[in-house]
Structure 1
């Protein structure tokens, strides 16, 4: 299993699942008629291409990510659209101060070791009066409506404190934005319900995470076996349900 909580397949699967939410997060940029919009931490470039389709040829959409292998997938998928992909760390966005007409970051802040520094850097490159939009998973909101609650608590602790660098990123976002002196901050919460174990595995990697917890000593063998068996029985008998919240947070420089 990847040390990251994502890979190219995961990004593509969740991208399809979150299509409506993604398109909603583009709306603050709808009035941009020229210049440059950045999708920071763009992964395979799904949102770079989506933003380009919405904004048209007069706006340059730039995807920035530190993983060149993921960017290559975006370059291949772009197929001549007015987009550019740049390999860079989010801590040093390779653009001049006050030069960007909009910036977006989806499920990025949760992976950062210096989230405040990156939010400051996003503000640096953004022009005054332009939008910064964040989409973040609230991992601490994950709930299973079956299975041992004590195991669920261990799962949440593992996700928010061990697996993910900044597991409470969604709950800290407004604080970062206030510190960076963004204004007009707006927070919207979107709950997602998964009705099958396959969905939970595709979009949350649940069984892989539980296996990893077992291998690393965060779960006992009996805890792991009973919890997974409970999830499978719930799925087989059509009463499986889990939910998680995703936030869209917009702001203005």
Structure 2
């Protein structure tokens, strides 16, 4: 892969080929441990409606933290299977599960071509996976295929096209936001999930729209993200270094005045495969 691609496309689309793949693991841990995503994860578990003895598949399982949570609910007669297209993630997931005695296993696999027979699982989950795929519709179709009739399918994704940032010049901000949106292979998949569920004939579709609102630049995660907006736009020639610095200075002044706001919309969508 061209070295420039590492700077202009999300590393989560090709983790094993990044210069420092474990940084992706650490960043996922940081984001996932925050109250905002912990709340979404809990709601996903509720929507899965896990029962003892269930077989659940976690597509794009990453380092396996969520698979371990669900594995505690299925009991010894159940099974949780985590799938990820990154050997780095699968290796780390197996390491974290070792010695816990939980009914969980991990497989390297492609979300758009899952290595399982039809009607294999009582529930399927995918969180922040589809945005990184070229063909998220195919991945959802695969989730439906491997789900048993009556199984719940749950997905959570941002809609990066919904991002608003208040505190600097609107035209310049739109350039930076649009550039950030293009950083992902499927940046608007969040708002499309329910439509794709309908096309695949899922029933009992439920959509929960959740807003992530940040009003402080100071915390480490937000600071990194704002700098990513700037560095990405500079790398792609969208803005100059002077414009990038000016944008950041504007946001810092807006933060002091209580006018800074960074908002993203998350779509949490569930559906059920019809029981034929």
* Same fold per superposition (TM over 0.5): yes
1:74 aligned to 2:93? yes
How much does 1:185 deviate? 0.9
Computed over aligned residues only, the root mean square deviation of the Cα atoms, in angstroms, reads 2.0
1:147 aligned to 2:164? no
Which of 43, 61, 64 aligns to 2:83? It is: 64
1:120 aligned to 2:136? no
The alignment partner of 1:116 has SS state of helix
The alignment partner of 2:140 has SS state of helix
Specify the alignment match of 1:245 in structure 2: 265
Which of 231, 249, 252 aligns to 2:251? It is: 231
What is the number of equivalent residue pairs in this alignment?
A: 252
Specify the alignment match of 1:9 in structure 2: 26
Change (3 A) 1:204 1:101: farther
Q: Deviations over 1:88-143 (max 9, x none)?
A: 11111111101111000001111111111111111110001110000001212222
Change (3 A) 1:29 1:171: closer
In structure 2, C-alpha distance between the alignment counterparts of 1:46 and 1:137, rounded to whole Å: 20
1:104 aligned to 2:121? no
Which of 127, 131, 136 aligns to 2:152? It is: 131
The alignment partner of 1:43 has SS state of coil
Contact 1:5 1:164 in 2 (8 A): no
Change (3 A) 1:32 1:204: farther
Specify the alignment match of 2:190 in structure 1: 170
- What TM-score results when the alignment is normalised by the length of structure 2? 0.84
Contact 1:110 1:167 in 2 (8 A): yes
Change (3 A) 1:195 1:56: farther
Q: Deviations over 1:43-73 (max 9, x none)?
A: 1112111212333333211110000101222
- What TM-score results when the alignment is normalised by the length of structure 1? 0.91
The alignment partner of 1:217 has SS state of coil
Task: Give ranges in structure 2 of 5+ residues lacking alignment.
Answer: 1-5, 13-23
In structure 2, C-alpha distance between the alignment counterparts of 1:129 and 1:199, rounded to whole Å: 43
